Amino acid sequence: MKNSRSESYAKAGVDITAGYKAVELMKAHIARTRNEGCLDDVGGFGGCFGLPMGMEEPVLVSGTDGCGTKVKLAILMDKHDTIGIDAVAMCVNDIICVGARPLFFLDYIACGKNYPEKIAEIVSGVAEGCVQSGAALIGGETAEHPGLMPKEDYDLAGFAVGIVDKKKIIDNKKMKAGDVIIALPSTGIHSNGFSLCRKVFDIDNNNPELYVPREELSGKTIAEALLTPTRIYVKSILALLESVEVKGISHITGGGFYENIPRSFPDGLGAKIEKSAVKVLPIFDLIAKFGDVPERDMYNTYNMGVGMVVVVSPENVDTALQILKSKGDDAYVLGEVVESDEGVILC
């Protein structure tokens, strides 16, 4: 006997069977992310997770975000296996700034039409981001929105929950003038400022120049450089926190240096950074050149090659650099903490 409800729903533009197939295809990816806290399998009405024991005052820390209009480029390039890394990164990189270890992640995919293979490809990237951060992918939702968005379009967002012992929450009250600011390099644009990128490179019109290999990008095309996944800093920062007192951590996202660095600073202190110290990636030079974007706007929009900064005492700099580099982040000294109400002094 045919399912009349499914048939009626299909006529309205929603394919229930495609949803079932997408879930089956993504199960193998989700299995990669299982950790000691997972209590059930995908498919239930809620994801269950057991909290780790041993903390005096466990505090849950949550973060939610999406990938912005970077999704537009993934759709144009028909490459969907890395955008999920960005979704995870934007959440876990935020909660690690508090000192929290990610526990689990849930995703939400809205699409014009559910193509199971595409959805599974997107989730494969989400799973990879979870593996990189140590979080379990314990659930999610795929919603088909016919008439609300074109069939080929989709959007991706999610949220992460982490945990930290209250006494180990990053405390910027210990920060003082003379402390050192360390930069953790980014992999590129990450997931911010793509509305400007779309205008600068005429992405919406699928500008052919996007796909021409460029010497400045070591043979990569602009599109490839822009779609490079966001770096996930969780394991590097967790290793650092085990050995060094960290007085502040900033995830450099939308708003660039000027908005994000001061977020981890107490009142009366600012960040003095020499522009010559910033290891600017070539993609940012191209954005400034193609779009005639003023320097301050660049530093107020993009990470400029610095995905995260941490503040430590001068005596801990060498140890911090050694730990971060051992985890794959070629960290370097970016500047120093000074008495100032300006937030960021870029000179």
Copy the structure tokens of residue 260. Answer: 């994000």
Q: What is the pLDDT of residue 1?
A: 40
Assess whether pLDDT exceeds 60 at residue 4. no
**Averaged confidence pLDDT in the chain:** 93
pLDDT digits (tens, 9 = 90+) for 283-292: 999 999 999 9
Q: What is the pLDDT of residue 186?
A: 98
* pTM of the full structure: 0.93
> How many residues make up the chain in this entry?
347
| Secondary structure element (H or E) that encloses residue 202, with its range | none
Angle, to 10 degrees, between the axis of helix 116-133 and the axis of helix 83-95?
30
Tell me the CATH number for domain 172-346.
3.90.650.10
pLDDT bucket at 2, cuts 50 / 70 / 90: very low
- In whole angstroms, what is the distance from residue 65 CA to residue 33 CA? 20
| 179: three-class secondary structure by DSSP | coil
Tell me the CATH number for domain 4-168.
3.30.1330.10
- In whole angstroms, what is the distance from residue 49 CA to residue 36 CA? 9
pLDDT digits (tens, 9 = 90+) for 123-170: 999 999 999 999 999 999 999 999 999 999 999 999 999 999 999 999
CB 201 within 8 A of CB 283: no
Q: What is the pLDDT of residue 46?
A: 84
CB 232 within 8 A of CB 93: yes
For the residues 176-189, what does the mean pLDDT come to?
98
| 300: three-class secondary structure by DSSP | coil
Q: What is the pLDDT of residue 27?
A: 83
Q: What is the pLDDT of residue 36?
A: 85
Angle, to 10 degrees, between the axis of helix 4-11 and the axis of helix 16-31?
90
Q: What is the CA radius of gyration of the chain?
A: 21
Copy the structure tokens of residue 54. Answer: 């041993």
Query: Where are the alpha helices (H) located in 175-301, listed in sequence order?
Result: 194-200, 222-227, 234-243, 256-260, 282-291, 295-299
| 34: three-class secondary structure by DSSP | coil
- In whole angstroms, what is the distance from residue 287 CA to residue 298 CA? 9
For the residues 203-213, what does the mean pLDDT come to?
94
- In whole angstroms, what is the distance from residue 159 CA to residue 209 CA? 35
Q: What is the pLDDT of residue 42?
A: 59
pLDDT bucket at 9, cuts 50 / 70 / 90: low
- In whole angstroms, what is the distance from residue 309 CA to residue 320 CA? 12
- In whole angstroms, what is the distance from residue 280 CA to residue 185 CA? 9
Angle, to 10 degrees, between the axis of helix 317-326 and the axis of helix 234-243?
140
Q: What is the pLDDT of residue 172?
A: 94
Assess whether pLDDT exceeds 70 at residue 239. yes
Assess whether pLDDT exceeds 80 at residue 54. yes
- In whole angstroms, what is the distance from residue 324 CA to residue 307 CA? 13
Residues whose CB falls within 8 Å of the CB of residue 253, separated by 6 or more in sequence, listed in order = 90, 93, 94, 190, 191, 192, 260, 303
pLDDT digits (tens, 9 = 90+) for 300-315: 999 999 999 999 999 9
pLDDT digits (tens, 9 = 90+) for 99-121: 999 999 999 999 999 999 999 99
Q: What is the pLDDT of residue 146?
A: 92
Domain positions in the chain are 4-168, 172-346
